[in-house]
A = this chain, B = another copy of it.
């Protein structure tokens, strides 16, 4: 039997359940899980804050493991067949149809109505389709990426879903060499955003976040100025940002905080004719106030929402980890590792902000490396 951690229903504690080991259809593979991530989205899932979640649900959308079994030919994107034994990760998004108006005319695959997401929109009744499980069933068409030899599973899961999400956000932000960038939020997405902003050659990076431990991580990922959102007033932060930017505000601000209140502040901290990228508003906390004259029109502002990732973001994230992990050490973001039985503790550690990054090791932390 396969053990998996399951959210049975909204606001219910996670339970460990057992499932039969699945039989593979042609083109499918079975992954023996090494690590799966605990993400803020998993908290929302447990709290019932995402619409249309198919409970019971096995969470875990960023996962690394070893190919245990393959049926038929299963290849990575480079066309190399998988034989079993490879350490791989995979894109959680599956089933983007390639046939609909969004895929073909708008070329906006992250808005394809057919896309399904492992650990989020695939429920446990459909199979082992989340990473908080000893095995994950990789359906035909799942995009699999082999880890380069120099890349450990810990580094990959330390970057988790935050890195490709940050890559998408940073790419949408069109940062120029030598510009000054504000990153709001110092959770996993914010921290990877800081690292990638560094990798785009920003001049100065200002981070707003909390608590102290995360601000230290922000500094390690490349932030030049760190402002503790819990210990400073909005006026103090405004003064600090203006001081750091000749009174103009930042060229680019990126919201990765999850806090709706960050939006108004961010719009004021970006300079005229600047850019504001919103990647952290992954659930509905209701409306906020925006002044369309002073914050959009007269400011000649660009505001860009960023939803989801596509394969290209994951693929290039793995390349960046291979090449630049020496500089950023993503595995050091992991502060907590839990077994399946401790999944509720894992959620608590993330919810309280105690953890920077918590991971689930379904075979036990001690058995994962």
Contacts and interface: CB of A to CB of B under 8 A. Distances in A.
B104 A77 contact: yes
Contact of A320 (B102, B178, B271): B178
B312 A104 contact: yes
A141 B99 CA distance: 8
Identical copies of this chain, number:
4
Contacts of A280: 297
Given A281-B292, A282-B293, A297-B306, A320 B246 contact: no
A357 interface: no
Interface stretch (A6-14, A106-114, A118-126): A106-114
Interface stretch (A59-67, A196-204, A207-215, A330-338): A196-204
Given A199-B200, A311-B105, A315-B178, A282 B297 contact: yes
A307 interface: yes
Nearest to A321: B178
A293 B176 CA distance: 27
A234 interface: no
A288 B285 contact: no
Contacts of A251: 106
A298 B305 contact: yes
Interface residues of A, number: 80
Contact of A77 (B100, B141, B288, B308): B100
A248 B111 CA distance: 11
A79 interface: yes
A99 to B, nearest CB: 7
A177 interface: yes
Interface in A241-279: 246, 248, 251, 260, 263, 271-273, 278-279
A286 interface: yes
A94 interface: no
A267 B293 CA distance: 16
Contacts of A105: 77, 311-312, 315-316
Contacts of A108: 272-273, 300
Contacts of A272: 102, 108, 111, 307
Given A101-B248, A167-B178, A285-B292, 20 more contacts: A75-B99, A77-B105, A78-B101, A108-B272, A110-B300, A170-B177, A178-B320, A196-B201, A199-B200, A199-B201, A203-B323, A279-B297, A281-B292, A282-B297, A283-B293, A287-B291, A288-B289, A290-B290, A300-B307, A301-B303
> 10 shortest A-B CB distances, which residue pairs?
A178-B316, A199-B201, A108-B273, A281-B297, A287-B289, A303-B303, A296-B305, A300-B307, A281-B292, A111-B272
